[in-house]
């Protein structure tokens, strides 16, 4: 009963949550959605066909169905994005909570490293890392995590510092609470809501960064379908087949809109004062 009320009370959140779940389900059940078409195979006799009833988004220069590739591309884009967000969340929070709780030289080392990453245009480093380590979706993820974890580290550190010197924390330490218990039962729960808000609002941005990297050819390797790289392929055929770049771009745009709105509504729910 209570659950139902929650979803009814937050209509915006519910609406975008359903949309987000639909997108995820569409990616998971891509073979069903596309009716069993193969995203990697096409017939050259059907190359560069304009959108029609048989191919509602048209075909690319190898005769592959763009609709199928866009749906399958959601797998690569979504899994990479969620991977990135989960990793920066974990790495950043772990680093920040540790730095804030222990202080001293631990804090110094972690935060100086974070400063170093911040004193630096993000995409340059991501490009260099992804490019030097070789193009693959794994390396693109590593590159983006490397650049973005600092935000979470700073945030969780400042949240920990806010309660570090409270009396109840000192009392818990004095009465013999283990460090592990302090970190997981006192420090982490305190920082978590804000961090979750940040993570949900970051999904869209991370997706755009990943798409930019693979657009430049530093992400998923062809022929695997991925939206950023599909746009790159579409660029070459812009004059003869503009649909090749319109639909993958539209897919990125729509997914980012849905996740941005979802993030906004999560923030409204968890942190009413900022709304």
Partner 1 sequence: MKKKKLALRLAQILVVLVGISFVTFLLTYLSPGDPVRNMYTAAGIMPTEELVAETREELGLNDPLPTQYLRWLRNCLRGDFGKSYTLNKPVTELLLGRLWPTVKLTLLSMGLMLLMAVPLGMLSAVYKDRWIDYLVRGLTFIGCAMPNFWVGLLLMLAFCVHINAFPVISSAGDLRSIFLPALTLALAMSSKYTRQVRTAVLEELNQDYVVGARARGVRESVILWRNVFPNALLPLITMFGLSVGSLLGGTSVVEVIFSYPGLGNLAVSAITSSDYNLIQGYVLWLALIYMVINLLVDASYGAVDPRMRAKEQIR
Q: Which residues bind partner 1 (CB under 8 A)?
A: 112, 115-116, 119-125, 127-129, 131-134, 204, 208, 211-212, 215-218, 228, 231, 234-235, 238-239, 242, 245-246, 249, 252-253, 256-257, 260
Residue 59's DSSP bridge partners are 65
Judged by CB, which is closer to partner 1: 149, or 218? 218
CA 101/CA 183 separation, integer angstroms: 8
The least distance separating partner 1 from the CB of residue 51, rounded to whole angstroms, comes to: 15
Residue 50 contacts residue 58 (beta carbons within 8 Å): yes
Which residues in 192-215 are b (16+ Cβ under 10 Å) and which e? eebbbbbbbbbbbbbbebbbbbbb
With vertex at residue 51, the alpha carbon angle to CA 47 and CA 56, rounded to the nearest 5 degrees, is 110
Closest contact distance (angstroms) between CB of 238 and partner 1 is 6
* Smallest separation (angstroms) from partner 1 to the CB of 263: 11
> Which residue's CB is nearer to partner 1, number 191 or number 245?
245
Q: Which is nearer to partner 1, 99 or 146 (CB)?
A: 146
Written as six digits, the tokens of 88 are 């920066």
3-state class of 101 per DSSP? helix
Q: How many residues does the chain have?
A: 275
Measured from the CB of residue 57, what is the shortest distance to partner 1 in angstroms? 15
Instruction: Quote the tokens at residue 57.
Output: 């988004």
Q: Cβ closer to partner 1: 177 or 201?
A: 201
Radius of gyration from C-alpha coordinates of the chain: 22
Q: To the nearest whole angstrom, how small is the minimum distance from the Cβ of residue 121 to partner 1?
A: 4
CB neighbours of 242 closer than 8 A, spacing ≥ 6? Answer: 234
Comparing CB distances to partner 1, the nearer of 5 and 239 is 239
160 touches 190 (CB < 8 A): yes
CB of 77 to partner 1, least distance (A): 11
160 vs 207, which CB is nearer to partner 1?
Answer: 207
The answer to whether residues 150 and 118 touch, using CB atoms and an 8 Å cutoff, is yes
121 Rama class: left (phi>0) / alpha (psi -120 to 50) / beta: beta
- Closest approach, Cβ 176 to partner 1, in A, equals 40
The nearest distance, CB 216 to partner 1, in angstroms, is 6
Phi-psi region of 47 (alpha: psi -120 to 50; beta: other; left: phi over 0): beta
For partner 1, give the closer residue by CB, 183 or 237. 237
CB nearer to partner 1: pick between 38 and 115: 115
């Amino acid at each position: 009963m209570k659950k139902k009320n929650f979803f009814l009370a937050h209509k915006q959140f519910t609406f975008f949550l359903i949309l987000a779940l639909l997108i995820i389900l569409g990616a998971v059940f891509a073979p069903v959605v596309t009716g069993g078409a193969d995203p990697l195979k096409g017939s050259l006799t059907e190359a560069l066909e304009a959108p029609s009833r048989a191919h509602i988004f048209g075909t690319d220069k190898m005769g592959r169905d763009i609709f199928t590739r866009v749906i399958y591309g959601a797998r690569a884009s979504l899994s990479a994005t969620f991977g990135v967000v989960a990793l920066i969340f974990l790495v950043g929070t772990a680093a920040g909570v540790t730095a804030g709780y222990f202080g001293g030289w631990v804090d110094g080392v972690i935060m100086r490293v974070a400063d170093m990453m911040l004193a630096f245009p993000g995409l340059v480093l991501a490009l260099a890392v992804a490019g030097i380590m070789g193009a693959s979706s794994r390396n693109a993820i590593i590159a983006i995590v490397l650049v973005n974890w600092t935000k979470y580290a700073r945030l969780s550190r400042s949240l920990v510092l806010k309660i570090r010197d409270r009396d109840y924390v000192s009392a818990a330490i004095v009465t013999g609470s283990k460090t592990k218990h302090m970190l997981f039962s006192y420090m982490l729960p305190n920082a978590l809501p804000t961090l979750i808000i940040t993570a949900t609002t970051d999904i869209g941005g991370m997706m755009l960064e990943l798409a930019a990297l693979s657009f430049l050819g530093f992400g998923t390797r062809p022929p695997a379908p991925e939206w950023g790289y599909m746009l790159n392929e579409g660029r070459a055929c812009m004059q003869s087949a503009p649909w090749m770049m319109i639909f993958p771009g539209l897919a990125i745009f729509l997914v980012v809109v849905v996740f941005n709105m979802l993030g906004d509504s999560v923030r409204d729910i968890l942190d009413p004062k900022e709304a």
